[in-house]
Amino acid sequence: MSALQEEFAQSAARLIQYAAEMGYGVTLGEAWRTPEQAAVDAAKGIGVADSLHTERLAIDLNLFIAGEYEADDSSGCYRILGVWWKNLGPNYRWGGDFKIVDLDHYSLSPDGVRG
């Protein structure tokens, strides 16, 4: 698991650098979540109990364009980063593809299944 977490961390750093190259401002959202918090979020319908955040294999990034927070994907910035992220490998997941869309979520699935 440690090697996968290291791969994820390095890939997340590259994603942030790519976002900056595209002219987007980036702030960090949630990267690690306790299993207890994941269970609470799942019960509220705002997350899943087996979140990859609990395994340190997911991060949420807040994007800004010209200093303004991009709350939706009207500019296409989240999609651009999501496509770039998914091109890193078959187990790279972007929250924009989830049933419950989570635009700012980027993860690396150890089993190739979970989002």
Q: What is the dihedral of CA 84, 114, 91, 2, to 10 degrees?
A: 110
pTM above 0.75, yes or no: yes
Please name which of 75, 53, 56 lies closest in space to residue 64, comparing C-alpha atoms: 75
Query: In the chain, where do the E strands start and end?
Result: 25-28, 58-65, 68-69, 92-94, 105-108
Place of tokens 């019960």: 43
Reading the chain (115 residues) residue by residue, the pLDDT tens digits are: 899 999 999 999 999 999 999 999 999 999 999 999 999 999 998 888 889 999 999 999 999 999 999 999 999 999 999 999 999 999 999 999 998 899 999 999 998 776 5
Structural domains in the chain plus CATH codes: 2-108 (3.30.1380.10)
